[in-house]
Amino acid sequence: MTGPLPGEELPGEELLVERLRQGGRLSVVTGAGVSAASGVPTFRDAGGLWRGFRAEELATPQAFARDPEAVWEWYDWRRGQIAACDPNPAHETLAAWSRRPGFRLVTQNVDGLHERAGTEAVVRFHGSIWELGCWDGCAEAPARWWDDSVPLDPRPPRCPACGGLARPGVVWFGEGIDPAVLEAALGATACDVFLVVGTSSLVHPAAGLIDEARRQGAFTVEINPEATPVSESADLVLPGPAEAVLPRVDAALT
């Protein structure tokens, strides 16, 4: 079967247009695939490796405890990469849709590109690469503080309150999701249309949000050029790149 040529409308897009025209509550969950067109390496595509390490090996408290300098070198490298990237049409379309009443966006990404595109009240499910925290969790420091210096100096950065090690303000594998963030994300599953865009849907509990949305009666849609574990159960799958599909759906709405 010859798939649609880039730019050609995908079968099914008009179904999403129809649903969005009904003006109901729209919630979106995004993953690394929405930032791919901006040049941010995804986790599991070939670019997801760093000096032979897999993200799952570096993005853990154990890796940081073992070698904080190496983990900070990886995050500093990623911060430098992301700083050179700009939001792409996928981020821009979602920012335009974020002005719809009842819109919610939950992202697994830590790059901050949704906010730079103008989306407000982003639910940062896995935190932000632009935030730091005190590794020792000292009471004098805020839970997280903003530091977008590129490169980091000093590296590793220190906690301004206790002078101990600072850590990246992201959620590592094996760490729980901030309860307030989890509550906001679960609140977003109470919607009429639930879009899952650019995620391999392998990482939990983020990957389970679509099931929660379906349980509450949402029309569920996946936008991803590849099949994922949620493709079978989604009401609609649009097998294309987010930076092409989202602007095309938006153009059909106006």
Calpha distance 206→199 (Å, rounded): 10
Q: Is 126 a catalytic residue?
A: yes
Residues in region 108-167 near Zn ion by CB under 5 A: 134, 138, 141, 159, 161-162, 164
Cβ contact 44:202 at 8 Å: yes
Length of the chain: 254
Calpha distance 245→22 (Å, rounded): 19
50 binds, among Zn ion, ligand BV8, none (CB under 5 to 8 A by kind): none
161 binds, among ligand BV8, Zn ion, none (CB under 5 to 8 A by kind): Zn ion
Q: Which residue, 34 or 218, has its beta carbon nearer to ligand BV8?
A: 34
> Least distance in Å: CB of 101 to ligand BV8?
26
**Which residues here bind ligand BV8, judged by CB under 6 A?**
31-33, 36-37, 42-45, 48, 56, 59, 108-110, 126, 170-176, 198-200, 202-204, 223-226, 228, 241-243
Tokens of 254: 């106006």
Q: What is the end-to-end Cα distance of the chain in Å, rounded?
A: 31
Q: Which residue, 189 or 200, has its beta carbon nearer to ligand BV8?
A: 200
Q: Which residue, 132 or 246, has its beta carbon nearer to Zn ion?
A: 132
Cβ contact 146:124 at 8 Å: no
Neighbours of 155 (CB within 10 A): 14
> Least distance in Å: CB of 23 to ligand BV8?
25
| Burial label, 62 (beta-carbon count in 10 A; 0-12, 13-18, 19+) | exposed
For the annotated catalytic residues, the residue numbers are: 126
In the complex, the residues that contact Zn ion under the rule CB under 5 A are 134, 138, 141, 159, 161-162, 164
